[in-house]
Chain A
Amino acid sequence: SAVISQKPSRDICQRGTSLTIQCQVDSQVTMMFWYRQQPGQSLTLIATANQGSEATYESGFVIDKFPISRPNLTFSTLTVSNMSPEDSSIYLCSVVLDTDTQYFGPGTRLTVL
């Protein structure tokens, strides 16, 4: 398995501001994913972030709202821009290892007031 860390673990933000979430992995991985989990809901994929290429966004998610960086094989960031209370969720990064299993970071709990 992989050790995945996320920063911050939680934050409370004001409407209209932006927050950048960091995801660090202890090994090099090609495929990295960002998910959103709204309160009481399942996980929804935001985008796939592969190193060396632009992130691929799922329907309903756009780059202007959720810009992603993937500068190397161990690190990625997700920014939640111009936040509104509807963005209050848990945001999780996930990676795929050689076994084709996805492992998840501990999540970032975001509350927007």
Chain B
Amino acid sequence: AQTVTQSQPEMSVQEAETVTLSCTYDTSESDYYLFWYKQPPSRQMILVIRQEAYKQQNATENRFSVNFQKAAKSFSLKISDSQLGDAAMYFCAYRRWNNDMRFGAGTRLTVKP
């Protein structure tokens, strides 16, 4: 079974600084997708970034980027120039083609002004 591990229950960052959220996963598959979702207090799950496992290039979306290490099964999220609106729960997720998504336990990010 695929599992996703987020070892940081809580993280804190100063506004305008950079923070990295960790995620590791376990799978025997070679083709899959990885995601980071953000869940603010409104509880809406918002897609932050996605990565296809067959792509070597790390995905980037504005201030959000990932460090995808396939051999190490690691998928960390870097948030640059942190903003107050980035405060939320962040979930790392794994999905194999045509299957459901499996989530990590989440990391609560606090942004200090």
Contacts and interface: CB of A to CB of B under 8 A. Distances in A.
Interface of A: 1, 31, 33, 37, 41-43, 45, 48, 90, 92, 94, 100-104, 106-107, 109
Q: Is the interface of A mostly helix, strand, loop or mixed?
A: strand
B44 to A, nearest CB: 5
A16 B70 CA distance: 48
A101 B106 CA distance: 19
B40 to A, nearest CB: 12
B104 A92 contact: no
A104 B44 contact: yes
Contacts of B37: 104
Contacts of A103: 47
23 contacts: A33-B101, A41-B105, A42-B103, A42-B106, A43-B45, A43-B103, A45-B100, A45-B101, A94-B45, A94-B101, A100-B97, A101-B33, A101-B35, A102-B93, A102-B95, A103-B47, A104-B37, A104-B44, A104-B45, A106-B42, A106-B44, A107-B43, A107-B45
